[in-house]
Structure 1
Amino acid sequence: MSQQQPPVRSTRRSPSRVPRPGALAAAGAMVVLPLVTACGGEKDAGGGKAAPSVTAAPAAGVVAPAKVEVIAGLTGCKAKIRIDADELRQGLCRTKKADYLITTFPEEKFKETWLEEARVYGGKYLVGPRWVVSVKPALLESFRAKLGGTVRELRGIGPKPGE
């Protein structure tokens, strides 16, 4: 009875090849390109583009990024950071027109949890990707024009005033 020997592996190493910088850039572009083109929006059943879930700011043509300081600058204030935690950052803006809160989140799921908890209080909020602005309702549309996002009304619990 013959036994088969396991294949012999060579211990000889091939020379290391260090990729050229141009090759790295090309490889990086190949990774990023599908991600960028995938963000072009969804198609509706008729083949046209579906309405985005977050509208762009008409004045800026973009939606504000999820950073308290950037959003504050776009609204004309310098925020004082009140909360700087793993789940959220919150800054207070004080202007002649109003005091308002800007809350940002590292992930969308934290924003949705925050909104679910805020539902108890009710009210209207300007909501964007990973951020929420709490400002008096009369200013929501002017803020939306600067920041983008959508106005979301949350129903409070309990009787409404005047009921």
Structure 2
Amino acid sequence: MRLGTLVGSLALVTACGGGEDDTAKTRQPSKSPAAPAGGIVAPARIEVIAGLAGCKAEIRTEADELREGLCHSQQADYRITTFPAEKYKEEWLDAASVYGGEYLVGPRWVISAEAEHLEEVRNRLGGTIRQLRGTS
């Protein structure tokens, strides 16, 4: 069930993630600072992250290794995934690298949205924008 949940969750990310560059499988963090102006990085609770992003989350997945919710604000739609431990987040990112795209990554959480909205929400939540390169 664990791997199935992880893989099923990744399939949903492709709608938000986008794979502009389908070459090598690598991660590239953004060059911008990891924390917003206030120096705070959002905690790993979907409801809190959604509130800071300006929307209310609808929980879609509740599993031992992750929680996932959808959040619709006036600016963008976000898919917020939280993890009980960093190792699950890193496993999820490794699996998501097949799809490519940009993701906002924080401590035990990942947000996927259209690329132009990630920097704006990063300014409120902190984290690092990572570019994952897809494989063909």
Q: TM-score range by the shorter chain?
A: 0.7 to 0.9
TM superposition shift of 1:152: 0.3
Partner of 1:99: 77
Quote the RMSD (CA, aligned, Å).
Answer: 1.1
SS of the residue corresponding to residue 153 of structure 1 reads strand
The reply on whether 1:55 has 2:40 as its aligned counterpart is no
Query: Which one has more relative contact order, counting CA pairs under 8 Å at least 6 apart?
Result: 2
Offset from partner CA, 1:44-94 (integer Å, 9 cap, x none): xxxxxxxxxx72111x32000000000000001010000011100011011
Partner of 2:5: none
Higher strand share: 2
Partner of 1:89: 67
- Name the CA distance, whole Å, in 1 between partners of 2:40 and 2:74: 26
Partner of 2:129: 151
Query: Structure 2 length as normaliser, TM-score?
Result: 0.74
Structure 1 unaligned blocks of 5 or more: 1-53, 159-163
The reply on whether 1:109 has 2:87 as its aligned counterpart is yes
- Name the CA distance, whole Å, in 1 between partners of 2:60 and 2:44: 16
Runs (4 or more) in structure 1 with deviation over 4 Å come to: none
TM superposition shift of 1:113: 0.4
Partner of 1:123: 101
Higher helix share: 2
On the 8 A contact 2:103/2:118 being kept in 1, the answer is: yes
Partner of 1:135: 113
- Name the CA distance, whole Å, in 1 between partners of 2:124 and 2:76: 16
Identity fraction in percent:
62
- Name the CA distance, whole Å, in 1 between partners of 2:126 and 2:94: 21
On the 8 A contact 2:53/2:73 being kept in 1, the answer is: no
Task: Give, as a single letter, the amino acid of the residue that structure 1 aligns with 2:34.
Answer: T
Query: Structure 1 length as normaliser, TM-score?
Result: 0.62
Q: How many residue pairs get matched?
A: 104
- Name the CA distance, whole Å, in 2 between partners of 1:140 and 1:99: 10
